[in-house]
């Protein structure tokens, strides 16, 4: 983008694991924390050239082949118990956050993080 002189929006995707301790997933949590910090640093570096960089942080997104949390029914039951909004994150939820950052609706936002996890990050993982 810099070489071509193109202005626009870079959107990275991380995880709540990058924002708090991630027992048994240290490498994953560290990698997601790195993406978040990279996004913040990149936002500062490329803003003068008209490029924005933001990060979306979804959680509990089910997908084919996903085994964490058990079967789809078990994942839904877990989400009803530990997510304040009571469900898993849908792909459409994440897409909405990405579209927002890609659009002119957020044309003056850079280095921002949009967490779309139904409020899960706000809860105490010990009480899950």
The residues annotated as belonging to the active site are: 28
Q: Are strands 51-58 and 113-116 parallel, antiparallel or unpaired?
A: parallel
Q: Are strands 8-13 and 113-116 parallel, antiparallel or unpaired?
A: unpaired
Structure tokens at 84: 């304040």
With H, G, I as helix, E, B as strand and everything else as coil, classify residue 11: strand
Of 69, 59, 72, 61, nearest to 113 (Cα)?
Answer: 59
Residue 87 C-beta-side C-alpha neighbours within 13 Å? 4
Q: Positive or negative CA dihedral for 83, 60, 68, 23? A: negative
């Amino acid at each position: 983008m810099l070489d071509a002189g193109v202005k626009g929006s870079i959107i990275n995707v991380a995880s709540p694991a990058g924002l708090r301790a991630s027992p048994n997933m240290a490498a994953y949590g560290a990698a997601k924390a790195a993406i978040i910090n990279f996004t913040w640093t990149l936002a500062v570096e490329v803003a003068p050239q008209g490029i924005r960089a933001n990060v979306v942080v979804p959680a509990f997104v089910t997908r084919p082949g996903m085994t964490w949390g058990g079967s789809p029914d078990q994942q839904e039951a877990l989400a009803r118990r530990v997510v304040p909004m009571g469900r898993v994150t849908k792909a459409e939820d994440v897409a909405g956050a990405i579209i927002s950052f890609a659009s002119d609706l957020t044309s003056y936002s850079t280095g921002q993080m949009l967490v779309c996890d139904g409020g899960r990050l706000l809860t105490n993982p010990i009480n899950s």
